[in-house]
């Protein structure tokens, strides 16, 4: 069984923020596979189904981003999920807009949602699907501007780049489930295959 979690902040106010790209990707994926996030388990909305012969649980935590670990740890324990079978989709400000990077393990890289999950699981060996949201010029050391950036919406031009990427993440998830981590990394981490500026 795989647990696929998209990170974001709950509520309409945050729904189109860059920080909510994980939610957007899960929403697209469940729609494609006719899975409904109609159950509440712990602090998450979840849905279950079978994809490529594998049982899957898909989730959107209803905690705020910085407490994502509370929801993820509950689900991992409830469904007896090993780190290798946990896939977390999230934004990455240090990747160019539209870049996808799949990896297993590593640090939180400054992402508070991932930091919360690592802290709660006491393990960093889960799989991450990172989606680049870009970093605006001149904000590398300005925390207030970084926060403003991740909590703002995509511009019309950025949406033309990011919308196809959301579909591509669904393909990457299917590859992860059906063919495994190495195959997905080989196919989706290649820069030339990705839609970006």
What pLDDT, on a 0 to 100 scale, did the predictor assign at position 196?
42
3-class state of residue 41 by DSSP: strand
- Residues 85 and 76 sit within 8 Å (Cβ to Cβ): no
101 pLDDT above the threshold of 80: yes
**CA–CA distances in Å: residue 25 to residues 80, 141, 170, 188:** 24, 29, 7, 15
Q: Which two tokens stand for residue 165?
A: 């990427």
Quote the CA–CA distance of 98 and 161 in Å, as a whole number.
6
Q: How many Cα atoms within 13 Å fall on the side-chain side of residue 171?
A: 12
Where does the pLDDT of residue 191 fall: very low under 50, low under 70, confident under 90, or very high at 90 and above?
A: low
Question: For residue 39, what are the domain limits?
Answer: 2-193
Instruction: Return the SS3 of 192.
Output: helix
Kindly report the CATH number assigned to the domain that includes residue 130: 3.40.50.1470
Q: Catalytic residue numbers?
A: 19
Total domain count, the chain? 1
Q: For 138-173, what is each residue's pLDDT tens digit?
A: 555 577 777 888 888 898 999 999 999 999 999 999
Full-model pTM: 0.92
Which residues on adjacent β-strands are paired with residue 39? 46
39-65 residue pLDDT tens: 999 899 999 999 989 999 999 999 999
pLDDT at 16 over 70: yes
Which regions of 62-180 does DSSP assign to beta strands (E)?
Answer: 86-92, 100-104, 127-132
């Amino acid at each position: 069984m795989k647990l696929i979690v998209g990170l974001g902040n709950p509520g309409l106010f945050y729904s189109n923020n860059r920080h909510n790209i994980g939610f957007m990707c899960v929403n697209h994926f469940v729609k494609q596979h006719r899975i409904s996030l109609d159950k509440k388990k712990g602090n998450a909305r979840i849905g279950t189904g079978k994809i490529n012969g594998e049982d899957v649980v898909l989730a959107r935590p209803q905690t705020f981003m910085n407490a994502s670990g509370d929801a993820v740890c509950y689900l991992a324990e409830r469904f007896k999920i090993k780190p290798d079978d946990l896939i977390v989709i999230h934004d990455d400000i240090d990747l160019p807009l539209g870049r996808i990077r799949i990896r297993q393990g590593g640090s939180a890289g400054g992402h508070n949602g991932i930091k919360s999950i690592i802290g709660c699981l006491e393990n960093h060996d889960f799989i991450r699907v990172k989606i680049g949201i870009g970093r605006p010029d001149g904000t590398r050391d300005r925390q207030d501007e970084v926060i403003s950036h991740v909590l703002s919406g995509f511009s019309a031009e950025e949406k033309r780049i990011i919308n196809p990427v959301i579909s591509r993440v669904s393909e990457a998830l299917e590859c992860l489930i059906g063919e495994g981590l190495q195959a997905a990394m080989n196919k989706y981490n290649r820069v030339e295959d990705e839609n970006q500026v």
